[in-house]
Amino acid sequence: MAEDNLVHSHDANHPANLICELCKLFYSNGWVTGTGGGISVKDGDLIYLAPSGVQKERMVPDNMFVMDSKTKEYIRRPQIYKPSACTPLFMAAYDIRGAGACIHTHSQNAVMVSLLYEKEFKIANIEQIKALPRVTSQGYLGFYDTLTIPIIENTAHEEDLKDTLERAILDYPEATAVLVRRHGIYVWGESVWKAKVYNEAIDYLLELAIKMRQCGIAPDGAIGSEKGALRVE
């Protein structure tokens, strides 16, 4: 099939190969257990999407769906798989933010944080924040900046998250991620590697915030506020 040329490449940096490599990595992180989560990479006018229901650690390039980013029509659609339910949500990151890749995980840190915070997750004054971008003004956050990630409510079906996810992307122009309550997180970036790094940095910060709160330290508190005042406001 001519469409197979879209996914068969010896180039390790080909999107179909990258998706497989990252799915294995994310599986080992516990982020995409039991076929949960998803990943998509944009390459020019083509959007590569991992299918639904495939064990992430066993993903192969042949499994990939490929969509034309302009017409939103599949130009490669393996018949034995279903397209990922994340697809309309990935499109929101591509269309609204011009993202180069989008990653969805069911990380337990993301789920726990969504239960500890109401509308927004905030963390400040932690070195790892510097891995995350200032979306509207270029560059990266500084040590003294506050990272804010909006939290939206889950729906019975993943694709039904589209409207609220789009609303959150528009309402939080500085955000490069959206948490979904009792579900997980969507993270996007200018390239696949940036999306990966943002996802790692955010997951680190989510895990740290859970631990800080367990010790009574407010993750978005001022430096030094943790001394003597071991209560989360």
The residues annotated with a catalytic role in the active site are 127
Distance CA 63, CA 17 (A): 11
| Six token digits for residue 228 | 């003597």
**Other Cβ atoms within 10 Å of 165 Cβ, number:** 21
DSSP string, 174-229: T-SEEEETTTEEEEEESSHHHHHHHHHHHHHHHHHHHHHHHTT--TTSPTTTTSS-
Q: Are 132 and 140 in contact (CB under 8 A)?
A: yes
Across the chain, where does the E strand assignment appear? 38-43, 46-49, 65-68, 74-76, 101-105, 120-124, 146-152, 177-180, 184-189
DSSP annotation of 123 reads E
> Who contacts 216 (Cβ-Cβ below 8 Å, separation ≥6)?
226, 230, 231, 232
CA distance 8 to 143: 42
